[in-house]
Amino acid sequence: MIWYPYTQMKNMKTPYKIIKADGVYLYTEDNKMIDSISSWWSVIHGYNHPELNKAIREQMDRFSHVMLGGLTHNAAQQLSQKLETWLPGDLNYCFYSDSGSVGVEVALKMALQYYINQGETNRTKILALKNAYHGDTFKTMEVGDDIDYHFVIEAYGPKQNVIHISTDIPSLEKAFKKYHNELNCFIVEPLLQCAGGMKMYDISFLHRARELCDKYNVLLVFDEVATGFGRTGNRFVADLVIPDILVLGKALTAGYIGHSVTVANTKVYRAFYDNDSKKALMHGPTFMGNALACNIALKSIEIFEQNDYMSKIKEIKKITFNQLAHFKHKKIKEIRIMGGCMCIEVFDSQSINGFQEFAYKRGVFIRPFLNYLYTMVPYIIKKHELIKIIDIIKEWFDQ
Ligand SMILES: *Cc1c(COP(=O)(O)O)cnc(C)c1O
């Protein structure tokens, strides 16, 4: 049987069984619902997309997978070329993995070895943010600060090599002053901390982080597994402040197949490029650069560009904002909106208990967690569909 994620199996509510999915709609045997969270934020073009289906079929007819150890292929080469020109600055060197967590692990390993390769073995600490989420593997749990999910890591005692700070400039400056000799990187989910509760912060914090990283020679790592591909209203937050290492996942493959990419800039790459084989990056997920995943990612980027997705996201934000402009309720602590993400934080998680079922009956799939009721809609959503989601949320609080 299936062991489901993030849930107590003993009292788990039976999950909705999906038999078909198309556009923004998920179908069960007897219901049709709008997916308001894009299957963990990945299905940006909607389900069963004809062009993406064609891209995967065409690649499947050539071959589905070959390893990147000693072999290479067009799909991975073309995607890397595309990312090289599409991503800002000199973020040019693409290392593929099969999931976001592993992509972050690779970034952290790169950052550590970047200094080791230059004879600096004392830079073992990582600076990260409070409420950070970077994945569920062990090092990403350590770098994360999501005790509701990762309490098990406490069994190891206090974290030795990670310092967590809040998203204000004085805390940032203080941490750099104190630890800069020992830090290899500062890793952040830029502007929007998703799994940690859709927490939003200002770009000035990232500008200051870039300055301090330059001043003290610390690598800046952006985990844009969730924020990439338009979610914050920016194509990438990396367009505003350029990191040394960028991790993309989730929407990279439009929700078709798990894949991620860890992209390094020239400075990072050069620290590994040497006659000494010990300076190589010793990592290689079995399914890295999977041909189906790469071909879908390529097609997904093409669709994103050709259909002016950034305007679609602006429109989503505008509609969401207008629909919620005068909405208040005593149970609601705060409503936050950024790009294609909306979050209602309530004072007490009890007040959104039962909301999922309520929304299901009205034709919307939504999955609140802890004190957060949020939407991350597919970008192809129509105005009336988006309004329907928001109306159901209002109806819940107003009933
Ligand atoms: C989802 C997520 C990850 C982990 O990605 P997986 O593909 O689930 O391993 C890492 N970082 C962020 C910011 C995420 O939202």
CATH number belonging to the domain at 63-306, selected among 3.40.640.10, 3.90.550.10, 1.10.580.10, 3.50.50.60: 3.40.640.10
The alpha helices in the chain, defined as continuous H runs, are 38-41, 50-62, 74-86, 100-116, 138-143, 147-150, 169-179, 203-216, 266-270, 291-306, 309-324, 355-361, 383-398
Q: Which residues of the chain have pLDDT under 70?
A: none
DSSP annotation of 12 reads P
96 catalytic? Reply is no
Q: 309: which 2 tokens?
A: 């997705």
From 40, 104, 137, the mutation candidate for ligand 1 (largest count of ligand atoms within 8 A of CB) is 104
Q: Which residues line the pocket of ligand 1, CB cutoff 6 A?
A: 99-101, 104, 133-135, 189, 194-195, 223, 225-226, 249-250, 258
- Run of H or E including 170: helix 169-179
pLDDT given at position 158 = 87
Per the document, the length of the chain is 399
From 101, 131, 140, the mutation candidate for ligand 1 (largest count of ligand atoms within 8 A of CB) is 101
* Residue the block writes with tokens 């004879």: 119
Q: 55: which 2 tokens?
A: 């891209």
Atom of ligand 1 nearest to the CA of 140: 10
- The C-alpha atoms of residue 242 and residue 234 are separated, in whole angstroms, by 13
Are β-strands 245-248 and 31-35 bridged in parallel, bridged antiparallel, or unpaired? unpaired
Atom of ligand 1 nearest to the CA of 227: 13
pLDDT given at position 33 = 98
| Terminal C-alpha separation, the chain | 38
- b/e map of 110-126 (b: 16 or more CB within 10 Å)? bbbbbbbbeeeeebebb
Catalytic residue among 115, 133, 309, 372: 133
CATH number belonging to the domain at 9-48+309-398, selected among 3.40.1230.10, 3.40.50.970, 3.10.20.30, 3.90.1150.10: 3.90.1150.10
Number of CB atoms found within 10 A of residue 70's CB: 6
Q: State if pTM tops 0.75.
A: yes
Q: 87: which 2 tokens?
A: 């991503």
**Which residue lies with its CA nearest to atom 6 of ligand 1?**
100
CA separation, residue 69 to residues 49, 90, 185, 290 (Å) = 32, 25, 28, 12
pLDDT given at position 386 = 98
Adjacent-strand bridge partners of 93:
264
**Within the chain, which residue ranges are assigned CATH 3.90.1150.10?**
9-48+309-398
